[in-house]
Structure 1
Amino acid sequence: MQLYNKYNKEELIKRLHEETFERTTISFYRYVRIDDPQSFRDELYQEWFQSNCFGRIYVAREGINAQMSVPSQHLGNFLQCMNNRPELQEMPIKYAVEDNGKSFYKLTIKVRPKIVADGLDDQAFDVTNVGRHLSATEFHEQIGNPEILVVDMRNHYESEIGHFEGAICPEADTFREEIDMVVDQLKEEKERKILLYCTGGVRCEKASAYLKHHGFQDVNQLHGGIIEYAQQIKRLNLKSKFVGKNFVFDDRLGESISGEVIAHCHQCGRKCDTHTNCTNNLCHILFIQCPECAAQYEGCCSDECKTAMHAPAEERDLYVQAFQRKFGNRKAFRKGLAQKIEQFDLRYE
């Protein structure tokens, strides 16, 4: 019985690229009572590991949140097995817009306090009193109405590369930070109609309930998120009102929705919407880098990181100390806007 991955990253990636079959990238979530999250997690791992599924899944007492890569030939059986579990019956599945089959290289299922790290006290407000769910076409028809506020409930590095036309995109590093920013920023607009959206819909469940708790009268949310919107709009042959790329939390880091590039390389300012992590593991910041800068800096975010990456082992402690002095706890030095502003001159926004 295997409950955890036993191979290193390099071996897993090698195996993925040697596969001769196709994979399908899907995502789903549900708020549902799970009495024993650990046992539920272990059962899922055994079942999905045997089917050669990959992905990142969070299980909590409040439900499940999953992004997965399933062998296409096993997809039907996978969905049927899900349907056999009361907690997962008739689960709404969202399919990737751009799918190269390489979104994940291993199966990771973690038990967490919550399926989204929102930092909210769920006892302080009614989490079931959510906003009205709008279909993709309903949402599409209302975008552009000057009487309606459209709010992006994702982090800044997500909205930077793509967002709905005219949307309010708070410069937030985390969902917990953003939800309070939205309440404060719109405190004089509580009578206005508000449309919330996020990647797949899960963050809007909590966000809409939180806004209603704070007195917002007409809160609505995009059912299925950007992923479902993109699929529906394509099916209906409508012009997308989402411009740019949808950030996704897998190895692809994004999928193009409108075909437009609205972001810029953080180093030179060329049009670019490709996220990457700094190759220097002392830094590893998530940033946007064009191919030319990737070659010049060897995948690093700066000359300093490039130098540190090539430093002799005996000198690396000095660089660690330098990074800690400049940025504090480097474990937090990942996607934060404050760190990016210090690291890059973001005049190309």
Structure 2
Amino acid sequence: MNAPTSKSTPTLPQPHHPYKVMALYKFASLPDVEALKSPLAEFCCARGVKGTLILAPEGINGTVAGAPEAIDALAEFLFTSGPFGNRLAGAEVKYSFADTAPFLRMKVRLKPEIVTLRAPQVDPNRQVGTYVEPEDWNGLIERNDVVLVDTRNDYEVGLGTFQRALDPHTSSFVEFKDYVEKNLDPARDKKVAMFCTGGIRCEKASSYLLSQGFEEVFHLKGGILKYLEVTPPEESRFKGECFVFDERVSVGHGLELGSATLCRACRHPLTEADRRHADYHEGISCPHCRDDAAKHEAAAERQRQMDLARQRGLAHMGDAAATDAQQRRQRKKQLADQSRQANKD
């Protein structure tokens, strides 16, 4: 199968938002990942770009955000002018915008895989399923001879999914192999269509199914995010919101900010119904972790610190918190110096 021909061009021109978000992945041969890590991290930090990028010998994956001009510069660095050369050409790239910073810091991580499946026989650079454009997706999944599978984890599916999609009820992508073994049969399931958030998990999932003897495997090109970006709401077969791995928590059609929030104790995404539940206590607990006292205690202390910081007009997390802490240290030092000078006098 040929790789997708996506271009790294902006898809949502919304200049009135101060932060531009770039989500990308690319399966490519990167045997020199250790040498690539520092230049990439330094480039991002010098321009105030924050988020997480994962590098592995099989490619790159991640989401970052920053000022629009900084993200544009990073795109050029990754795809044209930087140490990657042209190895990331044709990467799957999606842009969106945010009013507040989605990330608190910048991290470049080295891992064995950019999406963990632990199936050595899988090689998306060699074999993947058939890409289906978002505008062709509805026609495919409405066919009676197609088995539709959501390859995401249970907490993601809980926020939204496609009509009639099967939920593997996995807590991590590694468990997808067990789901296939127990629930899908290449002799029975002749046509399997799959989808995920941005497309990367389906690259590996489709490659895995083909390695297990499945004949026709399809996956949504660009994932749910691309579908929500280009599909009119009245034509959409996706119900709910799409979970994203940053402080936005979820997005809806047009990639507009969704209504979901995170439980600060267990990090489970919460719907409006979850927040109305008797076991929900803001910043402390939710219906998904109601029996985990240890998480509640830690979350309660964190909430207490946040409330104290708010009362004092200080930040609690991120760069603003670091600035506040530095200013407090400088003030203490000044007071100490003044006290020593007064004692000398």
TM-score, scaled relative to structure 2: 0.71
Deviations 1:62-99 (CA, angstroms, capped at 9, x unpaired): 11001111311333333222222322234331123x73
SS of equivalent to 2:26: strand
8 Å CA contact 2:153, 2:172 repeated in 1 = yes
Give 2:197's aligned residue.
199
> In 2, Cα distance between the equivalents of 1:278 and 1:27?
24
Cα distance 1:273–1:187, how it changes in 2: closer, same or farther (>3 A)? farther
* Superposition TM-score, scaled by structure 1 size: 0.70
**Contact kept in structure 2, 1:183 and 1:214, CA below 8 Å:** no
Could you tell me whether the CA contact under 8 Å between 1:153 and 1:179 is conserved in 2? no
- Which amino acid counterpart does residue 88 of structure 1 have in structure 2? L
Separation of aligned partners in 1, 2:295 and 2:217? 47
1:77 pairs with one of 73, 81, 85: 73
Which moves more between the two structures, 137-146 or 296-305?
A: 296-305
Equivalent position of 1:308 in the other structure: 297
Q: Is the 8 A contact 1:59 1:65 kept in 2?
A: yes
Structure 1: 5+ residue runs without aligned partners? 1-19, 260-271, 313-349
Relative distance call for 1:294 and 1:253 in structure 2 (3 A) is farther
Which position in structure 2 is the counterpart of 1:343? Answer: none
Structure 1 residue 172, shift from structure 2 partner: 0.8
- Provide, for residues 24-74 of structure 1, a one-character-per-residue CA deviation record: whole Å limited to 9, x for no partner: 112010111112111111111111111211111100111100111131133
CA contact (8 A) 2:152 2:197 kept: yes
Higher Rg of the two aligned structures: 2
Question: Residue 171 of structure 1: which of 162, 169, 179 is its match?
Answer: 169
Which residue in the other structure is 1:87 paired with?
A: 87
User: What CA RMSD, in Å, does the superposition of the two structures yield over aligned residues?
Assistant: 2.9
Q: Report % sequence identity.
A: 25
Tell me what 2:110 maps to.
Answer: 111
Matches within 5 A, 1:1-349: 22-82=18-78, 83-84=80-81, 85-96=85-96, 99-120=98-119, 122=120, 124-125=121-122, 127=124, 128-187=126-185, 190-234=188-232, 239-257=235-253, 274-279=260-265, 284=266, 286=268, 288=270, 289-290=274-275, 296=281, 298-301=283-286, 302=290, 304=293, 308-309=297-298
Read off the aligned partner of 2:268 and give its amino acid letter.
L
Evaluate the alpha carbon distance shift between residue 180 and residue 310 of structure 1 in structure 2; reply closer, same or farther with a 3 A threshold.
closer
**Unaligned ranges ≥5, structure 2:** 1-15, 302-345
Contact 1:134 1:223 in 2 (8 A): yes
| Alpha-carbon distance in structure 2 between the residues aligned to 1:190 and 1:209 | 18
In structure 1, how many angstroms separate the alpha carbons of the residues matched to 2:54 and 2:92?
17
Q: Amino acid of the residue matched to residue 127 of structure 2? A: N
> How many angstroms apart in 1 are the aligned matches of 2:234 and 2:249?
25
